[in-house]
Amino acid sequence: MAGIILVRHAMPEVVRGVSSTLWELGQAALEDCVLLAHALPQGLAPTVFTSDQPKVKQTAGVLALRCGLEVLEDERLREVEQGPGWIDDYRAAAASYLRYGSSGETADWEPRERVVERFAAGVDAGIAAHSGSDGDVLIVNHGLAMSLWLASRSGIDLVPFWQGLTFPDAWRLDLETGDVHHLWMGGRSAE
């Protein structure tokens, strides 16, 4: 097993008043996924692991189709559970959550430690499923959960890392050395 490739999903079509867990990708985002698929290394492990949210499953579906992989959903790879309601300055609230944990506007968000624990269990299951493979395990997921887990395994600076993620984005973690390498950056930022 060489490493883990973490892909943040492509940019969903944001629908105010609709839970982000239901957002889907538009045509431009699907095209971004095709470009990302061509940038991924050859010889990946045969399964791409994903959360169950439409925007993430759609991203994984394009990558799987282009790279000849199977898709397997794992609910442990879902995004940080967040409270109901719309937050006008979501990026500021999310950055505060990453720095300080659940408080203020994010008081009802899932504790960071719990996110890391469940995400790690999902990653470990993906690694175990392909223990005999030399290829990297591909995991398509969400920005906050991915950033928290990666920070627990490497030396990334958590908040700047998350703030710099694009839609989609791909990073590789070498499981032996802990080195993190940027594989691909999408054209759409969260700003």
Phi/psi at 81 (nearest 5 deg)?
A: -70, 130
Q: Whole-angstrom Cα distance, residue 97 to residue 6?
A: 21
Of the candidate ranges 21-30, 91-100, 179-188, the one whose mean pLDDT is the lowest: 179-188
Phi/psi at 173 (nearest 5 deg)?
A: -110, 120
- For the four alpha carbons of 93, 22, 74 and 150, in that order, the dihedral sign comes to negative
Q: Tell me what pLDDT residue 190 has.
A: 54
Phi/psi at 141 (nearest 5 deg)?
A: -155, -150
Average pLDDT over residues 27-53: 96
Beta bridge mates, 3: 174
* Domains of the chain and CATH, by start: 3-81+111-189 (3.40.50.1240)
Q: What is the DSSP string of 74-126?
A: -GGGPPPP--SS--TTHHHHHHHHHHH-S-GGGTTSPPHHHHHHHHHHHHHHH
Which has more confidence, 59 or 189?
Answer: 59
Average pLDDT over residues 34-52: 96
Confidence check: pLDDT of 90 > 90 = yes
Average pLDDT over residues 14-33: 94
**pLDDT band for position 86 (cuts 50, 70, 90):** confident
Amino acid at residue number 151: A
Q: Tell me what pLDDT residue 59 has.
A: 98
